[in-house]
Amino acid sequence: MRKGWMMCLFLFSYGWAQAQEKTGKTDMQELIQEQFQFAANQYKVLSRQVPPDRMPKTYYADRNEVETSDTKWWCSGFYPGALLYIYEHTGDTATLQEANRRLAILEKEKHYTGNHDLGFMMYCSFGNAYRLTRNPAYKRTIDTAAASLATRYRPGAGVIQSWNASRKWQGPVIIDNMMNLELLYWVSDNGGDKKYRQIALTHADNTLKNHFRPDYSSYHVIDYNLQTGQVLKKVTAQGAADSSAWSRGQSWGLYGYTMMYRFSRNKRYLRHARNIAVFMLHHPNMPGDLVPYWDFDAPGIPNTYRDASAAAVMASALLELGRYVRGKERKTYVAAAEKIIRSLSSPAYRARLGENGGFLLMHSTGALPLKSEVDVPLTYADYYYLEALHRYKNWYL
Ligand code: GLY
């Protein structure tokens, strides 16, 4: 008799949990579709404010002005990439036309060697364009961009140099640079030179060795002697302090090592990504909505700025990391990513149609110590938010 009751209770709880999961999924499906549709409309507002030879950067509400950049700016690939995600999920042909116009002005930067950002610039844009169309011209652009990025590899130190030498540094490498390895590895794995893969692995190994602290937080900038690989200093450019955990930097690291595991299946990278995730998710200064302050150690928390871009990158990374682990751990990462998506999609962060200069998300922080782009929209916050929506829909619904 007792066993019968236990069985009934079990079946009831199981059925209830299943129903809850189904409701949650339908709910997310609706939310995601709504966000893509909103994005298609909102980006038409943005596109009207960007001259044909420029890319959007941010928006200043006090001046009601969209700031734009040339195509050499490190963010120039995010706008076409975002348009392509929107087109993919809405079929909106005007969005595709706008994406094609922007790809056309960006294409020349495949030869650019002035910084390490070619991955951001050319893979977020042309990588998505090739994924969607298989147009061989896009592949040629990506291949050339990889060759340009590889010119910044410094074999003596085993790293790709991020910024050029200045009075401040000799061979600076920033944690963000992990993101550019995707371009190199992808090209190697898709018929390109195998040396790009080796460069990516060596850079990732040296970054793991030199950028991280025992608690798996990372420094922003490591200055190397590029001939010997000696670490000259460990500092910050955009964080609160040399020893602090600049939030977007933590997200770049999380995304970077998860992506490197995707290509290499090297368990060390996976372990490292999981440790970074634990550092971020369990940090005592992580707010309840999982949108980090601009630095985990920022002075004045909770009375300081958030960084929606750090949250968007983190959500997208956690969704990929969730695919490489199982059970409770997988659920934790996906639930955290879902929470971020819900937070960013709420009126607290997502703009209203026609406002925010036509950008999707409010409240990102570019470089607070430089008093640059504080509490503003940013193209990369929008891009990684859309990528997180895309990943959630493709992998978890
Ligand atoms: N890669 C520059 C930044 O994250 O601000």
- Looking at residue 237, which CATH number applies to its domain? 1.50.10.10
**Ligand 1 binding pocket includes 350 (Cβ within 6 Å):** no
Beta carbons within 8 Å of 95's beta carbon, 6+ residues apart:
40, 43, 44, 83, 86, 87
Residue with tokens 């990684």: 384
Q: Is 13 a domain residue?
A: no
Which residue has the least CA distance to atom 2 on ligand 1? Answer: 176
pLDDT, tens digit, 9 for 90 and up, residues 62-74: 999 999 999 999 9
Average per-residue pLDDT in the chain?
Answer: 96
Instruction: Indicate which residue's Cα is closest to atom 1 of ligand 1.
Output: 176
Residue 9 resides in a domain: no
The yes-or-no answer on residue 295 being catalytic is no
Q: Report which residue type is found at 148.
A: S
14 within a domain of the structure (yes/no): no
- For 111, counting Cβ atoms within 10 Å of its Cβ (0-12 exposed, 13-18 middle, 19+ buried), the class is exposed
What spacing in Å lies between the alpha carbon of 366 and ligand 1's midpoint? 7
User: Which among 92, 117, 143, 295 is annotated as catalytic?
Assistant: 117
Give the pTM.
Answer: 0.95
- Does residue 176 line the site of ligand 1, with CB under 6 A? yes
Gap from CA of 176 to ligand 1 centroid (Å): 6
Q: Which atom of ligand 1 is nearest to the CA of 249?
A: 4
Q: Under DSSP, is residue 72 helix (H, G, I), strand (E, B) or coil?
A: coil
Which residue's alpha carbon is nearest to atom 5 within ligand 1?
Answer: 366
Confidence of residue 153 (pLDDT cuts 50, 70, 90): very high
Average pLDDT over residues 155-180: 97
Residue 24 confidence class, pLDDT cut points 50, 70, 90: confident
Task: Domain of residue 254: give its range.
Answer: 25-396
Print burial letters for 247-256: b (CB count within 10 Å at least 16), e (below 16).
Answer: bbbbbbbbbb
248 lines ligand 1 (CB under 6 A): yes
pLDDT tens, 314-336?
999 999 999 999 999 999 999 99
Out of 76, 176, 250, 365, mutate this one to test ligand 1's pocket (max ligand atoms within 8 Å of CB): namely 176
Above pLDDT 70, what percent of the chain? 94
Is there a domain that residue 5 lies in?
Answer: no
Give the nearest ligand 1 atom to 309 CA.
4
Which pLDDT does position 23 carry in this prediction?
62
Residue 309 token pair: 């871009």
Q: How many domains does the chain have?
A: 1
CA atoms lying within 13 Å on the CB side of residue 102: 34
Looking from the CA of residue 74, the nearest atom of ligand 1 is 1
Report yes or no on 363 lying in a domain. Answer: yes
263 band by pLDDT with thresholds 50, 70 and 90: very high
Ligand 1 centroid distance, CA of 20 (Å): 39
Note the pLDDT of residue 164: 96
**131 within domain boundaries:** yes
Say whether 242 is catalytic. no
Q: Note whether residue 316 is domain-resident.
A: yes
Tokens of 390: 């895309």
Please indicate, yes or no, if residue 317 is contained in any of the structural domains.
Answer: yes
Q: Spot the catalytic one: 176, 295, 307, 382.
A: 176
